[in-house]
Each structure stands twice: as structure tokens, then as C-alpha cells.
Amino acid sequence: MPPKAKITKEMIVDTAFSIVQKEGVDKVTARSISEQLKCSTQPVLYYFATIEAIKKEVYAKADEYHANYIMNMENDYGNPMLTIGMNYIKFAIEERNLFRFLFQSNELSGVGMLDLLEAEELLPMLTVLQKELDMSMEDTKEVFSTLFIFVHGYASLYANNTMVYDEPNIMKALERIFYGAVCAAKGE
């Protein structure tokens, strides 16, 4: 009889991520993870003292997955920020449960919009935008935050409703908001 497969911490996190992705964060339990891994709950509880500890690691994995998804420039909408915005909305449609987990589960409690704009992970994106727009970083952040709020609204609607995806009209609206924010920042 072959020895039982060893359950690793990474296997637990990957399994919990898969559960969140398919069923939502509320379905992550020691039992649901162990059932998927075909083991007892003992290995799960060995590596993680609480389900919240697992969710914290899954959140980091989901955040990285999301960042890679939105930074994919395969579909070019003529401007990196518009491409990222459209990818953000598509993420909410295609990965509803991950979107809800990342942005609608109170994980950003106590964080202000300025904190989000100062995040180290955002700097490469802001730098590209700043160069393209030829404006100060302060104005670039203003343009980004205006577009982000609008994009996040669209994404939230799609993540929480079974709406019809109308890419041409969404793109038209994003372009208006983006170029309007640029003009406002440049004082035009």
C-alpha cells in the first residue's frame, strides 16, 4: 500500500483559493478544504490555527492573481489605463467571487483612498500613466483615482448582478471619464 500523500501548506492555500474562486469565501472551512484534499482536517489545522489565517494567505494569492489579470495588455484599448480599466471590469465579470472577496469583504477597512494611491504596487502603473500623460505625479494620481472610482462602480455592478456586458458603451464611457479627468487635471 503506497504512503499517503503529504499535505503541504501550499496545497491548503491553493485549495482554499479554488473554493473562493468557485463558491465564495464563506465556503472556506477546514472541512471543505480537507474534503477537497481527501484528508482529515488535521493537516489544515496543523498549518493554520484559524480559518482567518488561511483567508489571509488566500487574499494575498487572490490579490496577486488580480494584479496579473488586470495588467495583461493582450487586449489593447489604445491606452494602458483604459486597458487596465476594462480588464478590471472583466475580472469582476469572470471572477465574481474573487472580486467580491478582494473588494467587498471589508479587507480595506480603515484604508483611505489616499492610502490606496500611495500603495507601492500601484507605482509602476502610475509611472507609465504619468509618462504617457506628461503631467505631475499628483495630477496623475488625481486622474487615476477618478477613473478608478468609475471603473470600480461598473465592476461592482457586474460582480453582483447578472447584467448584459456592453463593451462598446462601457469603453465609450471610460474614455469620456478618462479624457475628462485628464483635461481637468491639466486645467483645460
Provide the domain limits for residue 11. Answer: 1-62
Q: How far apart are CA 89 and CA 136, in angstroms?
A: 27
Q: What is the 8-class DSSP label of residue 41?
A: S
Residues 155 and 186 in one domain: yes
Please tell me the total count of domains within the chain.
2
Q: How far apart are CA 65 and CA 70, in angstroms?
A: 9
Whole-Å CA distances, 8 to 21, 37, 126: 20, 10, 37
Q: What is the pLDDT of residues 118-153, one digit of tens each?
A: 888 788 888 888 888 899 999 999 999 999 999 999
Residues 45 and 100 in one domain: no
Query: The whole model's pTM is what?
Result: 0.87
Residues 77 and 111 in one domain: yes
If 0-12 CB within 10 Å is exposed, 13-18 middle and 19+ buried, where does residue 13 land?
Answer: buried
Residues 75 and 32 in one domain: no
Q: What is the pLDDT of residues 73-119, one digit of tens each?
A: 888 888 888 898 999 999 999 999 999 999 988 766 667 777 777 88
